[in-house]
Structure 1
Amino acid sequence: MKNNSFLVFLFLLISAIGFSQVYTNKVVGKKNAELLDSLKVQEYPYALPIWGDKATKKGFQLPYSAGVSLNYFWQESEMTFKNLEVGFNNGPMYNLDQIVRFHSAKVSGSALNVRPDIWLFPFLNVYGILGKADMSTNINAGVWVPDADNNWTEVLPFNTKTNFDGTTFGLGLTPTIGIGGGWLALDMNVAWTDIPQLEKPAMSFIFGPRVGKTFKLAKPETNIAVWAGAFRVHIKSETKGSLPLSDIFPSDGSAQSKVDQAQAKVDEKQTNVNNWWNSLSNAEQAKPSNKAKYETANRALEAAGNLLNGIDGALSTLGDSSVQYSLEKSQTNMWNFILGSQYQFNRHFMLRAECGFLGTRTQFMTSFQYRFGL
């Protein structure tokens, strides 16, 4: 069935990425003595960063105080879900945690964003984020029910890929310090991604500590920087929304056939559970283990019946029906490892690339930046 699951619209993929690409470096070493002396006597010509004149006199080489960058970001990651509730046509909501199992749930996509920034202090860069994201969800899941022996069987599989897009906006800051020719940066930002299928924009928080070193090249003002670090994504867990049922199920009748088959399987399981329970003596029914098994099976079968009856009723008026949903989502692994490098053509232009791996998230980012004094 096309767009088998209302779930595919719920998964936030892209929030925001970006950090300051240039750093406040402490000038050290005998070969840099001439540069160090010139920094200490030269008057700092710009209003930003605050205390910029004091920093240069202490031997720190500051980047231009303002900049704008164009960033491209791609990632693929696994998600985990809980507290799933579904309703139809604004009717009762049913919790499906017991019966819906996700074999795999991957989100992937790309984003293009613009990031203006300023150095507010020599050790603090602040920036804004505005971008567009193209995303897709790839879901392999199913509805499972038990029998009298607590053996679970899949009665309705979900396997779908859906594309959608969103707009991202956010704010970030990067505390940084130059240490002995190297630097430490602690990038963090909060962003909101507005997806039409959600009731309100989804919020995310990114934290990315990095440690790196910049190497001067023979040509004046050129250098290459390399770094390693970590990348942590936290997504606000609660998601609510509503979708037209016609966005999920095709109109060729195939969905109705699969739902009818699933309902028949649920009815068969319920009959088996009832027959097993009625075959027990009063003493056997009083055993906690048998009672727990019976109650667990009935709860699962009731939840599956409610879900399938809701879908069945909504399919009869497919064009006018809707699905309401609520769930909590999170990254399967919040952290992954990153490596990056940047080439500086001169103090105005830089090109950067960064990749992330390990854990359950893979990502790549490239960026081109222009800087100027302010």
Structure 2
Amino acid sequence: MRTTCFLMAVFLFFLHGNSIAQYTADKIVGQKPKNVSLADSLKHVTYPYMLPIWGQKVINKGFDLPFPVGMSVQYIWQQSDIIIDNLQVGFNHGPMRNCDDIIRFDKATATTNGANIRPDFWVFPFLNVYGILAKSKNTTAINAGLWIPDSSNSWKKIGNINTKADFDATTAGFGLTPTFGIGGFFMALDMNFTWSDIKELDKPAYIFIFGPRIGKNVKFKNEQSLALWAGGFRVHMNSGTSGSLSIGDLFPTGQWQQKIDSGYIKVANGQQQVNAWWSSLSPRDQQNPGNIAKYNTANAALAKAGQLLEGASEAVNTVGNSTVQYSLDKRPKDQWNFLIGGQYQINKHLQIRAEYGFLSSRKQFIGGLQYRFGF
């Protein structure tokens, strides 16, 4: 009856965050003596590094550049509601059955705790490119139910699915951040592409993140500064997920067999009610296309529920390496959320940053430390 709880263990909704590398190249403007002095001095500086391309030209035009290469370490926490549909289940590599009509998800929530390492390079003064290597521990909690039709062809829940599953993921990817700054104000359009390997999945999970931001950098003495920003966070992921899991890791035999037996009884009662309703109809009413459609739909759903329970029972009680196969489509409940963040620059080599996302069904926190150097 609760055969789908294992499916959630394979769902990854794991956001890798996006960072701003010493926020951007900044065009020095204004008539303050320190700004005029800095802009004039930059016009005569010999740029000593290979990156970014055109570094010498933009320095001489009055842009202050960050060090071209950085390495950062970030901690990420994220929690998000997800939508699941097109659920199919099979046992021991047998036939897969679509269970959308009889298994309905009330709520599914994915939580991630992880860390990543990110090398980055200013390839051009307006474009930062970075790589991502991440490890995470993930939890997926679901509330769902098994539904069947009754004699009036109304659907009722005959069992609850409340479960939580834990799994690990390894992620790799890359990102691009086009950005521009003038007078301390800046805009960044961060985007990254990642693939996460989870042993329960047939293929890596793909995620695309887009994070536009606008902000202001306030400079202090001795190279210290504080950048503050606000923006959005959009997530797109490949919708299809499929894989196989061991039954022994999912179904404690005694506990689940009792629930399966209870499900059998409720399905049998439902079938009796549907048959009684059909028998009570006059021959003329039994020819009514609407009644025929209701009767066939109810029988198909009850047969599917019975087959699902039968497959679960056989799998739970099979000695040896019994497995369950699955496929499903998933998506975030909300693609966008709002975010605010800040980065404190201790000096041009070392920065600390933090960011928080909210105002949707997704919440996230990112904190990190970055070191920059010349190349």
Q: TM-score range by the shorter chain?
A: over 0.9
Structure 2 residue identity aligned to 1:286 = Q
SS at match of 1:254: helix
Q: Which residue of 2 aligns with 1:165?
A: 168
Structure 1 residue 59: Cα displacement: 1.4
Structure 1 residue 181: Cα displacement: 2.4
Structure 1 residue identity aligned to 2:142 = I
Q: Which residue of 2 aligns with 1:368?
A: 369
* Partner deviation per Cα, 1:125-166 (whole Å, 9 max, x = no partner): 000000100110111111111112122222232111111111
Q: Which residue of 2 aligns with 1:99?
A: 102
- Which range moves more in the overlay, 280-289 or 180-189? 280-289
Q: Which residue of 2 aligns with 1:151?
A: 154
Work out whether 1:6 is the aligned partner of 2:9: no
* Partner deviation per Cα, 1:172-201 (whole Å, 9 max, x = no partner): 110001134211100001101111111111
* Partner deviation per Cα, 1:253-274 (whole Å, 9 max, x = no partner): 1211110110110011011111
* Partner deviation per Cα, 1:94-142 (whole Å, 9 max, x = no partner): 0000111111100002110000000000000000000100110111111
Q: Which residue of 2 aligns with 1:347?
A: 348
SS at match of 2:122: strand
Q: Which residue of 1 aligns with 2:239?
A: 237
Check the 8 A contact 1:3/1:162 in 2, yes or no. no
SS at match of 1:164: strand
Structure 1 residue 19: Cα displacement: 2.4
Structure 2 residue identity aligned to 1:40 = K
CA distance in 1, matches of 2:200, 2:77: 22
Q: Which residue of 1 aligns with 2:81?
A: 78
Within the candidate set 208, 211, 232, 1:205 is matched to 208
CA distance in 1, matches of 2:151, 2:3: 32
Q: Which residue of 1 aligns with 2:72?
A: 69
Q: 1:199 to 1:174 in 2, by over 3 A?
A: same
Q: Which residue of 2 aligns with 1:266?
A: 267
Structure 2 residue identity aligned to 1:309 = E
CA distance in 1, matches of 2:241, 2:186: 38
Aligned Cα root-mean-square deviation (Å)? 1.5
* Partner deviation per Cα, 1:334-362 (whole Å, 9 max, x = no partner): 10000001100000000000000011100
- Which range moves more in the overlay, 183-192 or 276-285? 276-285
Q: Which residue of 1 aligns with 2:314?
A: 313
SS at match of 1:350: strand
Check the 8 A contact 2:15/2:78 in 1, yes or no. no
Q: 1:318 to 1:97 in 2, by over 3 A?
A: farther
Q: Which residue of 2 aligns with 1:49?
A: 52
Structure 1 residue 2: Cα displacement: 10
Structure 1 residue 290: Cα displacement: 1.6
CA distance in 1, matches of 2:341, 2:334: 21
Structure 1 residue 319: Cα displacement: 3.9
TM-score, structure 2 length as denominator? 0.96
Check the 8 A contact 1:4/1:160 in 2, yes or no. no
Q: Which residue of 2 aligns with 1:299?
A: 300
Long gaps (5+) in structure 1: none
- Which range moves more in the overlay, 11-20 or 104-113? 11-20
Percent identity reads 52
* Partner deviation per Cα, 1:188-236 (whole Å, 9 max, x = no partner): 011011111111111100000000110011x221000100000011111
SS at match of 1:300: helix
Check the 8 A contact 2:90/2:326 in 1, yes or no. yes
Check the 8 A contact 1:94/1:306 in 2, yes or no. no
Q: 1:318 to 1:364 in 2, by over 3 A?
A: farther
SS at match of 2:43: helix
SS at match of 1:18: coil
CA distance in 1, matches of 2:63, 2:301: 65
CA distance in 1, matches of 2:152, 2:27: 70
How many residues of Structure 1 are paired with residues of Structure 2 in the alignment? 372
Q: Which residue of 1 aligns with 2:226?
A: 224
Within the candidate set 132, 137, 141, 1:134 is matched to 137
